[in-house]
Amino acid sequence: MATAYIPIESALSDKQIGKSVSIRGWIYRKRDQKELIFLIIRDSSDMIQAVIKKDSKAWKSAEKITIESSCELSGKIKKDARAPTGYELDVSDLKIIGLAERFPIAKDVSEEFLLDIRHLSIRSQRLQQVWKIRSTVFTAFREFFLQRGYYETHAPFFTKTSESGLELFEVDYFGKKTRLAQTWQFYAEALLPVLEKIFTIAPSFRAEKSKTARHLTEYWHGEMEAAWMDLAGLAKVCEELISYICQKVAKDCAKELKLLGRDSKQFAAVKPPFPRITYTDALKLLKKDGMKVTWGKDLRTPEEKQLTTHYDKPVIVTHYPKEVMAFYKPKDPKDKKTALCFDVLAPELGFEIIGGSERDLDIKEMTKILKQRGEDPKDYDWYFDTRRYGAVPHAGFGMGMDRIVQWICGLESIKDAIPFPRTMERLTP
């Protein structure tokens, strides 16, 4: 009969005490004593201490086994308060599956070195929690929209359309020049007359020259677009989505959050309504804090950071100056200097996790801005057809998936929110 292996997590239970179990995984730590060898075995679910006695038939393999070797073990479960996860496996059999060479990660290696060997350093216990939370965040995003009758759709990554004004990756496409997509939005707008409510999760590409803790050149972008929706309706979807993600992570990932030193109660408490403030009022608040921003300038990192210190939930900053916004964000008819748009800034993190807006229906206005910004309006002619044939009021937003993971996990850098980060300086592994 084939051996039934159980996840380590299920071995860590009073119900298993005295029982024989089989587990498999990788060696996380090894400590040799004269008569005993202690191993810590990890799998995707958890870790457990294993002890091998000198008179056991597993002793020879235990002597030979190295850090990060893969193996199969059988033995009896004991309770042991001194063991890292409270239980210990008294090993009777140990089979080495893949004997590891000397693992290159020791204490005191630099951050850069860890990124150079990211394909190995992704195994760390800390990052393992991040990957699990990241998976839950992506699942929550999908669930939220599917439950509300949205359809998942996809757009090309080779495209000439862009947010404009942002850095682009130009690529050679069989001798023609094209670009890597910065957003799914333009294609989403074309799909609205057929599907009305849609979303996607896909990579977006930004040739950001900035070396900051919040910028990737390839990041995961969760976007939604809905027909017949205005800014107030959009802001509501936004706060409900963030809350849904936080509730799900708090409920399903309490153990992972704890291992990262995060409190699941903090995220269970992230519920609508979120505070809303206009850009103009935000400047007044910043002025009181001693930060002077000239009206018309976009908010910079220190200003966004300062603003978020006033709130313990994400804050929705609305009505930014029209001048500095993407070409498709329409004027507010009540105050034409501002646009019908918002950014959502996360507390602690202190920067933007979501950007959204109503969409302009005025082809002339959009053409004028594109020209001013050095774009060729011809590249957007197909997009303007969405306005020519049965346009309806509509709105949408984009969420930086890696940024929301960064916030929830409490990570210094966005690089640790994604398994294989791409930045200005990092293209491998």
Residues forming the site for Mg ion (CB under 5 A): 355
Q: Please, which residue, 8 or 345, has the CB nearer to ligand 4AD?
A: 345
Residue 179 CB: number of other CB atoms within 10 A? Answer: 19
Contact 264, 286 (CB under 8 A): no
Residue 212 CB: number of other CB atoms within 10 A? Answer: 13
Please choose, from the candidates 276, 307, 303, the residue with its C-alpha nearest in 3D space to the C-alpha of residue 292: 303
Strand runs (DSSP E) across 132-245, as ranges?
A: 151-152, 158-159, 170-173, 176-180, 197-205, 218-227
- Cα separation values, 301 from 89, 244, 350, Å: 50, 27, 8
Regarding 163 and contact with ligand 4AD (CB under 6 A), the answer is: yes
The residue of the chain with the least Cβ separation from Mg ion equals: 355
Q: DSSP secondary-structure letter at 426? A: B
Q: Please, which residue, 314 or 355, has the CB nearer to Mg ion?
A: 355
Regarding 183 and contact with ligand 4AD (CB under 6 A), the answer is: yes
Regarding 167 and contact with ligand 4AD (CB under 6 A), the answer is: no
Regarding 354 and contact with ligand 4AD (CB under 6 A), the answer is: yes
Size of the site for ligand 4AD (CB under 6 A): 22
CB of 396 to ligand 4AD, least distance (A): 5
CB of 314 to ligand 4AD, least distance (A): 11
Q: Please, which residue, 181 or 391, has the CB nearer to ligand 4AD?
A: 181
Q: Please, which residue, 45 or 185, has the CB nearer to ligand 4AD?
A: 185
Partner interacting with residue 397 (select from Mg ion, ligand 4AD, none; CB below 5-8 Å by kind): ligand 4AD
Residue from 68, 403, 415, 421 touching ligand 4AD (CB under 6 A): that is 403
Which letter, b or e, does each residue of 21-39 get, where b requires 16 or more Cβ atoms within 10 Å of its Cβ?
Answer: bbbbbbbbebeeeeeebbb
Regarding 216 and contact with ligand 4AD (CB under 6 A), the answer is: yes
Residue from 219, 244, 267, 327 touching ligand 4AD (CB under 6 A): that is 219
The residue of the chain with the least Cβ separation from ligand 4AD equals: 400
- What is d(CA 339, CA 243) in angstroms, rounded to the nearest whole number? 26
Q: Please, which residue, 46 or 343, has the CB nearer to ligand 4AD?
A: 343
Strand, coil or helix: 104: coil
Give start and end residues of each alpha helix (H) in 162-300.
185-195, 231-252, 254-259, 264-268, 279-288
Residue from 42, 206, 248, 313 touching ligand 4AD (CB under 6 A): that is 206
Regarding 46 and contact with ligand 4AD (CB under 6 A), the answer is: no
Binding track over 357-396 against ligand 4AD, x by CB under 6 A: ---------------------------------------x
| Span of 56-64, 72-80, 215-223, 317-325 interacting with ligand 4AD by CB under 6 A | 215-223
Contact 423, 217 (CB under 8 A): yes
Contact 188, 204 (CB under 8 A): no
Q: Report whether the peptide linkage leading into residue 421 is cis, meaning its omega lies within 30 degrees of zero.
A: no
Tokens of 87: 């239980």
Residue from 198, 400, 405, 417 touching ligand 4AD (CB under 6 A): that is 400
Residue from 355, 366, 380, 405 touching ligand 4AD (CB under 6 A): that is 355
- What is d(CA 10, CA 370) in angstroms, rounded to the nearest whole number? 59
Residue from 303, 358, 402, 416 touching ligand 4AD (CB under 6 A): that is 402
- What is d(CA 80, CA 103) in angstroms, rounded to the nearest whole number? 29
Residues forming contacts to ligand 4AD in the complex (CB under 6 A) are: 163, 182-183, 185, 206, 208, 215-216, 219, 221, 223, 352-356, 396-398, 400, 402-403
